[in-house]
Amino acid sequence: MYSEELVVGWACRKVNRPVKWTSDRTEAFLADAHGRDHVAHAEMAMDKNGKFLAMRVNTTANLGAYLSTFATMVPSYLYAFLLAGQYSTPLIYSEVKAVFTNTAPVDAARGAGRPEATFLLERLVDVCAEDMGLDPAEIRRRNFIPVDAFPYQTPVVQCYDSGDYNAALDKALALADYEGFAGRAEEAKSRGKCRGIGLSSYVEACGIAPSAAVGQLGAGVGLWESAQVRFNPTGNVQVFTGTHSHGQGHETTFAQLVTEQLGVPIENIEVIHGDTSKTQFGMGTYGSRSLAVGGVAIAKACEKLIEKGKKIAAHALEAAEGDIEFADGNFAIAGTDKAMNIAEVAFNAYVPHSYPEGLEPGFDENAFFDPMNFSFPAGTHICEVEVDPDTGVVEIVKYSAVDDFGKLINPMIVEGQVHGGIVHGVGQALLEGCQYDSDGQLITASYMDYAMPRADNVPSFDVDYAPTNPPHNPLGVKGCGEAGAIGAPPAVINAISNALGIKHIDMPATPENVWRAAQTATS
Amino acid sequence: MAENGVGASVRRKEDYRFLTGKGSYTDDLNVVGQTHAYFVRSPHAHATINSIDTAAAAAADGVVAVLTGDDLAADGIGPLICGVNVTSDDGEPHRAPVHSALAQGKVNYVGDHVAVVIAETLAEAKDAAEKVEVDYGILPAVTDTATAADDDQQQIHEVAPNNQCYNWPFGDKAAVDAAFESAHKVSSLDLVNNRMVTNPMEPRAAAGEYNSGTEEITLHLTTQNPHVHRLVMSAFNQLAPEHKLRVVGPDVGGGFGVKIFRVLRRVGCRLGLP
Amino acid sequence: MNVNGESISGEVEDRMLLVEFLREHLRLTGTHVGCDTSQCGACVVHVNGVSVKSCTTLAVQAEGGDVTTIEGLAINGELHPMQQAFKDNHGLQCGFCTPGMVMSAIDIVNRNGSDVDEATVRKELEGNICRCTGYHNIVKAVHAGAKNMGG
């Protein structure tokens, strides 16, 4: 929450007039919560086969001038608890020092803690591969949590639900034509370009969070989600969700869930969210949780409607409740052609002229869902770059992503989330760097000074899936909103490091930084 | 599978309104009698506020009110909270400096909120904001992550010695150290995770309206979770009782975490519940 | 001036920007403001058939001109081929940059023809920032829209 929001709420009463405030972009740069800002040292101990024995990580995290709402959790629970990544490293020790500075508060930013953990781990794994003389794909394979080990308890609290990390890696290697890379590098060299390829195998924790899990961390509220599914007498449906949509397309995805379950045409379903006077209490949308938690609440409300509908249909059709079956939007007496569709049942429920005692009118149900665990999407992203050593310009020539999001409700929307996440991650890797000078003046306070990724900075992407079935989630879904932002930064930096034959380059790998690294590498 | 059901790439129901310019974002809302707020922000990263003189601004054309942290405190509006506890290695909870929505006595970053001007038009609010006289006592600034906790650094908050919020160890250090002792090979890496500005394309906005008849505040916000916003503004900031506060997140132009608000702290305790 | 086919007149201060005139006087709030340095392109409209950033155009500069905003594209509820292409190709998520994107896209096709290549589309969309889509589906949409406009 922000000062401006509270002040506007207070001021409108104080002056007894409507008050509007809109940030301009410079104010957004100055006073929106910023993201990331870690300095870290990481070490991995290995046996002679490149098997990870233990990891040690020391991190300093900048929280800015004040604690923003989520600030303390991002570099601690959302960071250290993801440091196992996709690997069976048995021992992990992390120390996080969080510090105040005279800069804007730092808080959650797409991925929140998980991109920081993944960048550190996936960069370190590439350094390990180099040190052991192993191919980056091979060292990952040797250390992956095996498919038969799930549910898998990591040494850092999290218990992963499901995963098949080799499957995603294999598919990504094929999609990226990893085998053919050497030939492409050779061809690029003939043009004076350095070509590099980089892998990133990430895990993220979504569906934040089960109340029991956050309760152990000292939480006093639950993190369930709620839904209400209401039929109107004319048979159309209003779905009230406690989640919030700001680009994710819930109005469509949630309607798909309802049309699937209740057989109501999608055009007769309206999803309503984002207003405390319309919707029941909800926790909102963050951490890619809306479908994995909020979607299930909707499904549970639909189940209740079906149960109630059977009672109403039994009464109307003069049959026993146990004889009523529901399929494709119709309540039918089993083995007969006597049936009512769900819209007729809804009308009947609001015109209860001859209801017996005990049969409650109305066709409107609430449900809450509190998941048993986080969900753990995972995947392998592969980035291929061409670096011009004379200018330091990096071109992403190919980007392949294979993710496990569980079941997809709307593949078009999921793919869009992946694209957007990747470019957010590419932005961090190549372009975006928020800079304060030593007096604390923000010197990147506009789009003139802070480089956002634009259409000509990125290619089109190759996206595929290697789904597994998370046993804790009744819909079999995991969450997809942050994967790209988590997977992309190490994939891009691993590719640049590979292209230049260097150990590491810090983000953002701007032309200047890359040019300097290229000069050092060749001198 | 139902037509348009699970697994179908259904074209989005929300697109028509966005594609025809009929989306309704917070800044698109306009109501009769609406005023505009503009914030006076600190130009200094670290400074004491010796005095604020709002007289000239308050007398400027179109100005409805100029409000400061003192006004906020006088009305009993509580500070902004952080919702998650992390226990430091000394067994103490993380250090949490008071964060008033409008600065009280000190500013701690460039852009920190010093006062708000409310005027009939945005241009008048901006013009008047320039007339707010603030006497600052400039202090050295701390900006570097790696050295912020060094002994010779300027202290930012009294409650946080060495500018440290927490030092949080996790894991079996002895066992890990032993594994490193006997390892065949140790690889290591120093790295920086660069600071980002999240930049959803829609800038943040807030539009508040008070109904003196029902004593209800309606607040339209660029929010990712309106109910939790309401809960916290009510329980922690004493803005209004929950049933007299309506929070609406209309169409929101991207979030990515910046417009999020959540609380994991013991709300129940704060409310006096068991 | 003529806005979306309707004749409009009004007294404005010299300093009033076209985007302020559209949003605040005409309540055409489909045109958005996403930055203050003429970088993001959320404010793109057409003046006399050519795309301009209405955040850096004075209202008086459009005096006597034909202004088209996102609200003026669909005819009797039927989407313009470019709007339809954005819907069909999931070229939008939060919708905030979308009006500017669509207006720029139409201008790109008008200037480069319906067989415009990907590199040109990406280069010419450089003045429109989107944080949600990663541009992939926007570029697809521009191509699809180009074909439909050409046909």
**Residue C36's CATH number:** 3.10.20.30
Where does residue A249 fall: left (phi above 0), alpha (psi -120 to 50 degrees), or beta otherwise?
A: left
> Does residue A46 form part of some domain?
yes
Question: How many independent structural domains does chain A possess?
Answer: 3
Q: Are C87 and B202 in contact (CB < 8 Å)?
A: no
Annotate A246-284 with DSSP letters as a single string.
SSS-HHHHHHHHHHHHH---GGGEEEE-SBTTTSPP---
Confidence class of residue B273 from pLDDT cuts 50, 70 and 90?
A: very low
The tens digit of pLDDT for each residue in B18-34 reads 999 999 999 999 999 99
Report the residue of C124, C135, C137, C142 to disrupt the A interface, i.e. the one with the largest count of A CBs within 10 Å. C135
- Distance in angstroms (rounded) separating the CA atoms of residues A426 and A411: 22
Please provide the DSSP assignment of B154-184 as one string: PP--TTSGGGEEEEEEES-HHHHHHHHHT-S
Q: How far is A510 from chain C (nearest CA, A)?
A: 18
Could you say which of A320, A335, A369 is where a domain stops? A369
The answer to whether A349 and A231 have CB atoms below 8 angstroms apart is yes
Residues C86 and C138 occupy one common structural domain: yes
CB A121 within 8 A of CB B270: no
The last residue of a domain, from among C72, C97, C112: C72
- Say if residue B217 is in the same domain as residue B246: yes
pLDDT of residue B251: 83
pLDDT band at B150 (very low <50, low <70, confident <90, very high): very high
Low-confidence ranges of chain A (pLDDT < 50): 218-220, 287
The closest CB to that of C123, out of A24, A424, A456, belongs to A456
In angstroms, the separation between the Cα of residue A211 and the nearest Cα of chain B is: 10
The mean per-residue pLDDT over the stretch B46-67 comes to 97
Supply A184's token pair.
């492409």
Taking residue A303's Cβ as centre, other Cβ atoms within 10 Å add up to 16
- Across the interface, of A15, A29, A95, the residue whose CB is closest to B118 is A15
Closest by CA to A213, choosing from A376, A406, A370, is A370
To which H or E segment does residue A330 belong?
Answer: strand A330-333
A279 plus A402 within the same structural domain: no
- Report H helices in C16-130: 18-20, 81-88, 98-112, 118-124
Is residue B20 a part of any domain in this protein? no
**Residues C27 and C85 reside in one and the same domain:** no
In a domain, A252, yes or no: yes
> What are the structure tokens assigned to B199, written together?
């930049």
- A476 belongs to a structural domain: yes
User: What pLDDT sits at residue A1?
Assistant: 85
Residues C34 and C61 in one domain: yes
Judge whether B32 is closer than 8 Å to chain C, CB to CB.
no
Can you say whether residue A339 is alpha, beta or left, with left for phi > 0 and alpha for psi between -120 and 50 degrees?
beta
Report the CATH number that the domain containing residue A45 is assigned in CATH. 3.30.365.10
Percent of chain B with pLDDT over 90: 78
Task: Examine the domain organization and report whether B34 and B157 are in the same domain.
Answer: yes
Considering the domain architecture, whether residues A356 and A390 belong to the same structural domain is answered as no
Is residue B23 one of the residues assigned to a domain?
Answer: no
The dihedral built from the CA positions of residue A305, A308, A312 and A314, taken in this order, carries a sign that is positive
- Rounded to whole angstroms, the Cα distance separating A437 from A460 reads 36
Q: Indicate the SS3 state at residue B132.
A: coil
Which letter, b or e, does each residue of C81-111 get, where b requires 16 or more Cβ atoms within 10 Å of its Cβ? bbbbbbbbbbbbbbbbbbbbbbbbbbbbbee
Closest partner CB to B254 (pick from C79, C83, C132): C132
User: Are both C31 and C7 inside the same structural domain?
Assistant: yes
* Predicted local distance difference test score (pLDDT) of residue B2: 65
**Whether residue A313 is found in the same domain as residue A292:** yes
Q: Which residue has the higher pLDDT, B59 or A469?
A: B59
Based on the fold, state whether residues A343 and A236 are members of the same structural domain.
yes
- Which residue reads 């280069």 in tokens? C123
CB neighbour list of residue A163: distance below 8 Å, 6 or more residues apart: A86, A145, A147, A150, A152, A203, A376, A378, A404, A468
B63, β-bridge pairs: B119
CATH code, domain with C130: 1.10.150.120
Q: Are residues A273 and A346 in the same domain?
A: yes
pLDDT at B261: 43
Residue B262's domain is classified under what CATH number? 3.30.365.10
Instruction: Please give the residue of chain A at the shortest CA–CA distance from C96.
Output: A247
Which pLDDT score, from 0 to 100, does residue A176 have? 97
Residue of B21, B201, B254 with shortest CB distance to C70: B21
Q: Which segments of A80-140 are extended strands (E)?
A: 91-99
Does residue B106 fall inside a structural domain? yes
For A271, residues 6+ apart whose C-beta sits below 8 A from its C-beta are A239, A241, A245, A250, A251, A252, A254, A255, B13
Closest residue in chain C to residue B25, using alpha carbons only: C96
Q: Total structural domains in chain B?
A: 2
Instruction: Give yes or no: residues C144 and C111 share one domain.
Output: yes
Subunits close to B (at least 3 CB pairs below 8 A): A, C
Strands (E) across chain B are located at: 35-41, 47-53, 63-68, 106-107, 113-119, 133-138, 164-170, 185-193, 196-197, 205-211, 216-221, 245-248
Chain C contact partners (≥3 CB pairs within 8 A): A, B
Domain that holds residue B260: 204-274
* A392 and A518 fall within a common domain: yes
Closest Cα of chain B to A107: distance in Å? 8
Give the residue among A460, A412, A456 at the shortest CA–CA distance from C87: A412
Shared domain check, A171 and A59 = yes
What pLDDT was estimated at residue B267? 34
Indicate if A235 and A363 belong to the same structural domain.
Answer: yes
* Residue B199 sits at the chain C interface (C-beta within 8 Å): yes
Tell me, yes or no, whether B75 and B179 share the same domain: yes
Final residue before a domain boundary, out of A369, A396, A431: A369
B222 & B154 share domain: no
pLDDT, position A220: 44
Could you tell me if B64 and B164 lie in one domain?
yes
User: Least CB-CB distance to C39: which of A420, A448, A461?
Assistant: A448
pLDDT at C141 over 50: yes
Q: Residues of B with CB below 8 A from A426's CB?
A: none
Residue B271 pLDDT class (50, 70, 90 cuts)? very low
Could you tell me if C93 and C129 lie in one domain? yes
Kindly state whether residues A169 and A245 are assigned to the same domain: no
Min distance B17 CA to chain C CA atoms (Å): 9
The stretch B210-234 carries a mean pLDDT of: 90
Tell me the residue range of the domain where A107 lies: 33-203+373-522
The verdict on C137 touching A (C-beta cutoff 8 Å) is yes
Q: Is A1 on the interface with C (CB under 8 A)?
A: no
Cβ(A25)–Cβ(A447) below 8 Å? yes
Residue B35 lies in a domain: yes
Q: Which residues constitute the domain of residue C128?
A: 81-150
Torsion, CA A210, CA A212, CA A218, CA A220, rounded to 10: 80
Domains: count for chain C: 2
Q: How far is CA B148 from CA A77, B83, C101, in A?
A: 22, 23, 42
Closest alpha carbon within chain B to A412: B9
Choose from B11, B16, B17, B18 for mutation: most chain C CBs within 10 A: B18
Measured in angstroms, the CA of C53 and the nearest CA of chain B are apart by 16
Q: What are phi and psi of A378, to 5 degrees?
A: -155, 170
**A56 & A7 share domain:** no
Name the residue facing C99 among B21, B200, B203 (closest C-beta). B21
A·C CB contacts under 8 A = 87
